[in-house]
Amino acid sequence: MNRIRFFLFSLHRWLGIMICLFLLMWFITGLVLIYHSFPNVTKEQKYAKMETLPSSLPSVEEMTRSVPEEDQLRVRNIYQFQGQTLYSVSTKENNYTICTDSSENIQPLTYETIENIAAGWVDAPILKVDTLHDLEIWIMYTKYRKELPIYKFYFDDPERHQLYISSQTGEVQQFTTAKQRFYAWIGSIPHKLYIPALRKHTQLWIDTITVCSLIALLVCLTGCVAGGYRYYQSYKKRGIYTTPYRKTAWKWHHVAGTWFSLFLITWTVSGALSLKKHLNGLPKRTRTIKSLHE
């Protein structure tokens, strides 16, 4: 019995130190995260840079004539790109892009076009351009995989802007400044464990968070056992359930830890199970319909 008790107390002590350091980091980075979230290009920024639509457009029925009737429409979007009015439709299985002018074919997307798009976002010279064939820290979600390769533009301006544009659609994927990147490195990245080696492998990232939550759960359970045992010892000696510790720090750790651990157990269990419903959906097939009557 003494060996079991010694093992539980030691396990609680050393795992508790590790979890406390982690929670300290989580608390500090959480404060940063309240005021500086992970950088992301906003819809307002995208809309401000889009080409203006013409004053007249075909009807929706006419534009969707080329979409197979068995495909149920889910998302619709109309926009102006490279001087053409394009209609984008998403169904359960496919994505369609339709040119509203039946006499024109959709112009192919070239690097020159992408470079012109980049130049319109920042009024500064382009220092260099990287072609990304894999995800990196600022484009870490799996949704970016279908946009690869992605062009990363570095600008020579005081804010040191970096712009990410898809080679598949010409759409801006990410837009950051040096200040945003700095606060992300001391805020959201460590807080959410957005470590590139982990986050690019979604299942590994989920497993890591789950294991950390289970370790925290083990600390709480061993703390309940240790705290309850100390109360039991006090009752045997004095006849009342009270903390045996005299030092203020030890006493409050015992009292608060024993009762607050009941809440922490539910918190750690929810953390361990929070990402188990993550679904890796299959990418949709993309079809380009050159005109309405093709």
- Write down the pLDDT at residue 60: 66
pLDDT exceeds 70 at position 231: yes
E runs forming strands in the chain: 73-81, 84-91, 94-99, 126-132, 150-155, 162-166, 172-176, 285-289
Q: Closest by alpha carbon to 154, among 110, 124, 112?
A: 124
What pLDDT is stored for residue 252 in this prediction? 76
Structure tokens at 105: 């074919």
The answer to pTM > 0.85 is no
Query: Rounded CA gap, 56 and 59, in Å?
Result: 10
Where are the strands (E) in 138-246, listed by range?
A: 150-155, 162-166, 172-176
pLDDT of residue 102: 63
Eight-class DSSP state of 71: S
First to last CA, the chain: 81
Per-residue DSSP letter, 42? -
At residue 65, the 3 state secondary structure works out as: coil
